[in-house]
Amino acid sequence: MDKLLITGGARLDGEVRISGAKNAALPLLAGALLGETPVTLTNVPQLRDITTMLQILGNMGVTVEIGDQCQVLVNANTLKTAVAPYELVKTMRASIFVLGPLLARFGEASVSLPGGCAIGSRPVDQHLKALTALGAEIQVENGYVHAKRNGRLKGARFVFDMVTVGGTENLLMAATLAEGTTVIENAAREPEIVNLADMLTGMGARIEGAGTDTITVQGVESLKGGTFRVISDRIETGSYLAAAAVTRGRVKTLNTDPMLLDAVLQKFREGGAEITTGPDWIELDMKGQRPKAVNFRTAPHPAFPTDMQAQFMTVNVLAEGVGTIIETIFENRYMHVPELNRLGAKIAVDGHTAIVTGVDTLQAAPVMATDLRASMSLVIAALAAQGDTLVDRIYHIDRGYERVEEKLQGLGATIRRVSGKESA
């Protein structure tokens, strides 16, 4: 099992190119199933989760061609069997995104129920309720969701019980081919939803209100393919900016979009960082100063994203003062806390609240990644720890961060990947 060996102490300084967003590419790949002609996506990140989604599509007989320059072509006309098996779905719960498109286009689908994961039970009840509202017949047995429709899906008004990104995406995709009008209330507003709606509109769908909490869809008979760009990864962007803040350095992130992470940039500024932005870049400069602790609370977009909670906690770990963090989206998203405390952090967790008392330095120690964003928070902390930190189970990080050690080396970090057998 690979590990990352990081020697802390270097102040990061330089530029890093941000990849396409994992959480946009995954629904876009699923949405490509709706196209009667091939869909080409550009700016697709090369990540383990993307590979898994391509395997799920390929396993169904869908033609997938990976071009150079991060391009992927999907041709769903060769689909043989609308089944997403457990052995693939269990490694990536976003596989559930294929359910809506398969049902809408091909009339039926069997998708393994995604398991929970480290950060929470993560049920899909809202996805199933939403598709049922469009007239789908859904049975859950032997760990699989079996969905089918008799005739076309029928548009309906549906109110989500809570804001769900995946649930909004599944319903939006299915509604594009339903008969009549679908109104999605209490919809998620994440930029990845807008990216998906833009692609579907480019394929011939009729959608209004993406990016707001009410999305209206006029169903059409069919959708065609086309070429569409995956938006930049706002969480990868925020993660590298957090690495700059923690090391009191300066990092300019390229191929990104400052409009995608206002709430995070505001918190960096509150912590004393100098943030400058351009149309496709963001620079954070600490001017060698120690960040100041800030309080933040995660919530659906446009509020502070839960996917940045672990990384920004690490900024508070090394900041001046005490910062309070409240995680409102997932019930178990503090798995990084005991590992950060092993490095010398002072974090006390009480339910959904974490109180972080800033320390001036951390001491290296072997730590273990537990989930995707937690693993990045440990890497960021290790960059500021004295000595050599070994981060284990970094297959988690490879799910969502493309070439992470290469990008950090480019910013002046001393980091290398060691195989499980090699000692540190």
Give me the active site residues, please.
117
Alpha carbon distances (Å) from 231 to 26, 42, 193, 235: 12, 9, 11, 12
Widest pairwise Cα distance in the chain: 64
User: Is 20 a residue that touches ligand EPZ (CB under 6 A)?
Assistant: no
- Contact indicator for 380, 406 with CB cutoff of 8 Å: no
Query: Of these, 12, 102, 103, 124, which contacts ligand EPZ (CB under 6 A)?
Result: 124
Name, in order, each residue with C-beta under 8 angstroms of 197's C-beta and a sequence gap of 6 or more.
172, 205, 207, 210, 211, 215
User: Is 53 a residue that touches ligand EPZ (CB under 6 A)?
Assistant: no
User: Is 94 a residue that touches ligand EPZ (CB under 6 A)?
Assistant: yes
- Please state, as a whole number, how many other Cβ atoms lie within 10 Å of the Cβ of residue 342: 18
User: Is 238 a residue that touches ligand EPZ (CB under 6 A)?
Assistant: no
Rounded to a whole number of angstroms, the minimum distance from the CB of residue 382 to ligand EPZ is 19
Secondary structure tally for the chain: helices H, strands E: 14, 26
User: Is 116 a residue that touches ligand EPZ (CB under 6 A)?
Assistant: no
The whole-angstrom separation of Cα 365 and Cα 211 is 43
- Please state, as a whole number, how many other Cβ atoms lie within 10 Å of the Cβ of residue 400: 26
User: Is 143 a residue that touches ligand EPZ (CB under 6 A)?
Assistant: no
Residue closest to ligand EPZ when measured from CB atoms? 166
Query: Of these, 67, 123, 143, 278, which contacts ligand EPZ (CB under 6 A)?
Result: 123
Alpha carbon distances (Å) from 387 to 250, 275, 335, 343, 424: 22, 29, 23, 11, 12
User: Is 329 a residue that touches ligand EPZ (CB under 6 A)?
Assistant: yes
Query: Of these, 145, 173, 400, 413, which contacts ligand EPZ (CB under 6 A)?
Result: 400
User: Is 122 a residue that touches ligand EPZ (CB under 6 A)?
Assistant: yes
| Of residues 154-183, those binding ligand EPZ (CB under 6 A) | 162, 164-167
Query: Of these, 5, 18, 26, 293, which contacts ligand EPZ (CB under 6 A)?
Result: 26
User: Is 288 a residue that touches ligand EPZ (CB under 6 A)?
Assistant: no
3-state DSSP assignment of residue 283:
strand
Query: Of these, 43, 52, 253, 306, which contacts ligand EPZ (CB under 6 A)?
Result: 306
Q: Point out which span in 115-123, 208-216, 245-253, 312-320 binds ligand EPZ (CB under 6 A).
A: 115-123
CA dihedral 205, 209, 215, 220 (to 10 degrees): -20
User: Is 120 a residue that touches ligand EPZ (CB under 6 A)?
Assistant: yes
Which residue type occupies 301? H
Q: Enumerate binding residues for ligand EPZ (CB under 6 A).
A: 22-23, 26, 94, 120, 122-127, 162, 164-167, 306-307, 329-330, 372-373, 400
